[in-house]
Chain A
Amino acid sequence: MVETTSHSFTGPHGPKPKKALSRRNIFLYGTLFVVTLYYALPLYIMIVTSLKGMPEIRLGNIFAPPLEVTFEPWVKAWSQACTGLTCDGLSTGFWNSVRITIPSVILSIIIASVNGYALANWKFKGANVFFTILIFGAFIPYQVMLYPIVIMLREIGLYGSLTGLVIVHTVFGMPILTLLFRNYFSSLPEELFKAARVDGAGFWGIYFRIMVPMSLPIFTVAVILQVTGIWNDFLFGVVYTGPDSYPMTVSLNNIVNSTQGVKEYNVNMAATIITGLVPLTIYFVSGKLFVRGIAAGAVKG
């Protein structure tokens, strides 16, 4: 027998030594730092400016932190800033956006998930044709359909109302969401679906009891996509609603672009941050699930 003791080992041993400042690390962290700065600086300027009073802004030191922190621009942006003739700030637009986003998101996800499930698991006659047409719809530029939809909404009496806009958002979310759900559902093992059929579950039984409980990641992805997409939408909002029902993005535009009087940079910055806060929150809350869901849906096409 060979006797091995720790003494018999010469040369390097133990964990591999790491250099803190290798050339690779300097390059890596240097690049990361520059890119971070590039993205973080505008946000920093916005936050800092929104907390300054107008006299301080006129001094021109846009990078300087506020000498005197004031939340007045935020209050003004929310409740007093003028959009055209009315001067009640972003609040009306915010609540309009909420009333548009929530039903649109729920409705589009419910319909798209059932679509995707039917396409992935119930290979009905004409499924491929249906799917092709649906996907083709995703590539037609919105501008082409803008006016025909105005006429259609007018004919059914929904033009200028929130309901009309909800319908438009639901329809336009359909291709990409259906694709997303279809791919996710077809990545789930087919034998699960077969087992459920042998167990006597029907179309809705399998959907609610088997598929939906396994699909939290993809539902999260869909919610994020839809909330940010619909919340940030400007074009449909401005075309299909009236001044009473303008969504927040349109109100923001009207505040920032109103030309009378002094340009209140602090109010504009505050208004912009408030508008962006909703999608931002959604990202932070569900970021991890989002990444997982995107990966899960991407496995099989």
Chain B
Amino acid sequence: MTNSVEIKKLDLHFGAVKVLQDLNLDIGKGEFLVLLGSSGCGKSTLLNCIAGLLDVSGGQIHINGTNVTWAEPSERGIGMVFQSYALYPQMTVEGNLSFGLKNAKLPKAEIESRVKRASEILQIEPLLKRKPAALSGGQRQRVAIGRALVRDVDVFLFDEPLSNLDAKLRADLRVEIKRLHHSLQNTMIYVTHDQIEAMTLADRIAIMRGGQIMQLGSPDEIYGRPVNKYVADFIGSPSMNFLDGRIQGGAFHVGDLSIPLDGYDFAGGSPVDADATIGIRPEHVVTGELVGNAAFQVDVEVSLIEPTGSDTLIDCTVAGNHFRVRMDGQSRVSLGEKLRIGINPSMASLFDAKSELRL
């Protein structure tokens, strides 16, 4: 697989503030890459750099093998979809779709056929003569996607395209974007702070923090083997439980508990004696009849119950630490009840206490 977008040693600073630092990223042809991070992490900035809307301070950007570091946005072979749709209010939908093509001085017949094709794919044909003000949020975002579509480019850039929509519409359009990616097979780079969007859409996710990529990997990898405590904490809802303790003699000791680590896949060798943090996702805690099979078991007292319908979240205390457990929505528990929970070390994550890196 050849690379569609290559970012080499990218730097960007505004005065003394370093927004992006020595950033390297290769994105394969037809790949769906999601840039994920909390606000201010530089993900939108990176996207704007790829689009050519921000001048970089150092490094190079290649798209389809061409160095486009200093090329105009329109000459890079990209289409972009914005959070606020950014439709030209004085033009009809048709005008919005054809604006870029007219600027590129394409023949009229070609413009018409491209607009027709894009509006068919996105099912916005009945709206072509309307102004953006007369469209709903979902329709507007469809038109915005159409504007990228008509450009017939290999790389699509999405800047939090679904953030302005309500929850139901967001889910619908998310599916539609995924379907679009399947049928077009374009490279897509998608910025979001929503981990559900990231997990469902991405071939690979790049978790960003402080202008750098913390982890780049498939959703499975990011979820199952987070490289550090930050990524572990960021991904997953409700978030991971952390217990600070010490690894000694092949077991993790926290308070008077000792969790055996047989079956844990250490990244390096197993440390003999070290301070560490163990991370256990609430959904990986074993409850009910299966507890007997778990490598480690402990009794806890239920201190809070949050039913969400499909699941029930339980708050309890393990070795003096606040701990959350996700149970099936069907299970019946009551406040103050004693509950036996189990932990399997193969599903847990261990982090070095100082560097917070995965062990």
Contact = CB atoms under 8 A, between A and B. Distances in A.
Interface of A: 189, 191-192, 194-201, 205, 209-210, 213-214
B53 A194 contact: yes
Contacts of B99: 196, 199, 201, 209
Interface stretch (B83-91, B259-267, B283-291, B331-339): B83-91
A214 to B, nearest CB: 6
A156 B257 CA distance: 93
Contacts of A201: 74, 99-100, 103
Interface of B: 48, 51-53, 72-75, 78-80, 82-90, 99-100, 103-104, 147, 151, 159
28 contacts: A189-B84, A191-B82, A191-B83, A191-B85, A191-B86, A191-B159, A192-B86, A194-B73, A194-B80, A195-B82, A195-B87, A196-B88, A197-B52, A197-B53, A197-B72, A198-B53, A198-B74, A198-B78, A198-B79, A199-B74, A199-B151, A200-B72, A200-B103, A200-B104, A201-B74, A201-B103, A205-B103, A214-B89
A205 B104 CA distance: 12
B74 A213 contact: no
A128 to B, nearest CB: 12
Contacts of B79: 198
Contacts of B85: 191
Contacts of A214: 89-90
A195 B103 contact: no
A81 B84 CA distance: 62
B141 to A, nearest CB: 13
Contacts of B89: 214
Kindly list the 4 A-B residue pairs having the minimum CB-CB distance in the complex, ordered from nearest.
A200-B74, A199-B100, A191-B86, A200-B103
Nearest to B79: A198
A192 B84 CA distance: 9
Contacts of B88: 192, 195-196, 209-210
Given A189-B86, A214-B89, A194 B51 contact: yes
B51 A198 contact: yes
Given A198-B78, A199-B99, A200-B104, A213 B84 contact: no
Chain A binding surface SS class: helix
B100 A200 contact: yes
Given A200-B100, A201-B99, A205-B103, A195 B86 contact: yes
Contacts of B100: 198-201
Nearest to B78: A198
Count chain B CB atoms within 10 A of each CB in A192, A199, A201 and give the residue with the most: A199
Contacts of A209: 88, 99
Nearest to A192: B86
Contacts of B84: 189, 191
Contacts of A199: 74, 99-100, 103, 147, 151
A287 B317 CA distance: 68
A196 B103 CA distance: 10
B354 to A, nearest CB: 42
Contact of A194 (B75, B86, B104): B86
A193 to B, nearest CB: 8
Contact of A197 (B73, B87, B151): B73
A195 B51 contact: no
B103 A198 contact: no
Nearest to B97: A199
Contacts of A191: 82-86, 159
A75 B143 CA distance: 61
B68 to A, nearest CB: 13
Contacts of B74: 197-201
B90 A198 contact: no
Nearest to A212: B90
A218 to B, nearest CB: 15
